[in-house]
């Protein structure tokens, strides 16, 4: 490969890497709650990396011609101290971000992290009241949930079940099922189940 071709590939690789880094930094900046503070951290990081690199490069250049053991030891200590100082500064600068990153991922194991929780009706209180024989209170709890989720099929069916089976209010259960049939976006399977339940309640009532 010619020299010009090799240079072109080097430049192309540099442009691609710069583009990827720029895209990552842009996405990071867009998600940050404190963009100005994040930019200042980038500047501090760049300065510390450049200083450390310059010190290391100068010491390596000085040792290119060969050094005695004492001088080589001093060079090594200088480079180590420079790297340590750089690490301390970067640790202070990015400590909160690193801690937040690991803390957020550990917290996700317990609270789901940033995943949005879809609200759903809560009928356990109503079920407990029904088991205790407190049917009116169970109906009140169901109606509280239906006020928030008007088209909820399980809630409507549970309400009709309490009316028909526990309160001997077949007319009320019939009205609840009729309202359920009028709710939009109900699946045919749910509607068929509701009608079958109503038919069962009516058949049971006719046998009494």
pLDDT at 2: 56
- Quick check: 137 pLDDT over 80? yes
Those residues whose C-beta lies under 8 Å from the C-beta of residue 160, and which sit 6 or more positions away, are 172, 173, 176, 177, 180, 194, 197, 198, 201
pLDDT at 139: 94
- Quick check: 174 pLDDT over 90? yes
Whole-angstrom distance, CA of residue 91 vs CA of residue 96: 9
Q: What is the mean pLDDT of residues 97-111?
A: 65
- Quick check: 182 pLDDT over 60? yes
Identify the residue with better confidence: 115 or 168: 168
pLDDT at 175: 93
Report DSSP state, residue 164.
I
Q: What Å distances lie between residue 187 and 60, 159, 183, 195, CA to CA?
A: 75, 19, 10, 13
pLDDT at 107: 60
Architecture in CATH for domain 124-202: Alpha Horseshoe (1.25)
Identify the residue with better confidence: 139 or 14: 139
- Quick check: 80 pLDDT over 60? yes
Q: What are the domain boundaries of the chain?
A: 33-117, 124-202
Q: Look up the pTM and report it.
A: 0.48
% of the chain at pLDDT higher than 70: 77
pLDDT grade for 65, boundaries at 50, 70 and 90:
low
């Amino acid at each position: 490969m010619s020299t010009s071709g090799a240079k072109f590939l080097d430049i192309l690789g540099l442009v691609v890497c710069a583009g990827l880094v720029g895209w990552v930094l842009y996405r990071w900046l867009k998600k940050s709650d404190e963009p100005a503070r994040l930019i200042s951290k980038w500047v501090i990081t760049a300065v510390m990396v450049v200083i450390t690199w310059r010190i290391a490069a100068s010491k390596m250049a000085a040792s290119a011609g060969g050094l005695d053991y004492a001088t080589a030891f001093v060079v090594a200590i200088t480079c180590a101290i420079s790297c340590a100082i750089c690490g301390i500064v970067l640790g202070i600068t990015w400590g909160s971000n690193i801690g937040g990153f690991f803390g957020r991922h550990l917290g996700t194991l317990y609270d789901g992290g940033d995943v949005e929780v879809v609200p759903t009706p809560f009928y356990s209180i109503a079920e407990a009241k029904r088991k205790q024989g407190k049917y009116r209170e169970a109906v009140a709890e169901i109606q509280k949930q239906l006020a928030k989720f008007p088209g909820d099929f399980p809630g409507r069916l549970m309400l009709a079940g309490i009316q028909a089976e526990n309160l001997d209010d077949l007319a009320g259960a019939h009205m609840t099922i009729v309202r359920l049939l009028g709710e939009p976006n109900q699946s045919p399977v749910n509607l068929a189940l509701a009608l079958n339940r109503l038919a069962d309640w009516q058949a049971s009532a006719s046998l009494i």
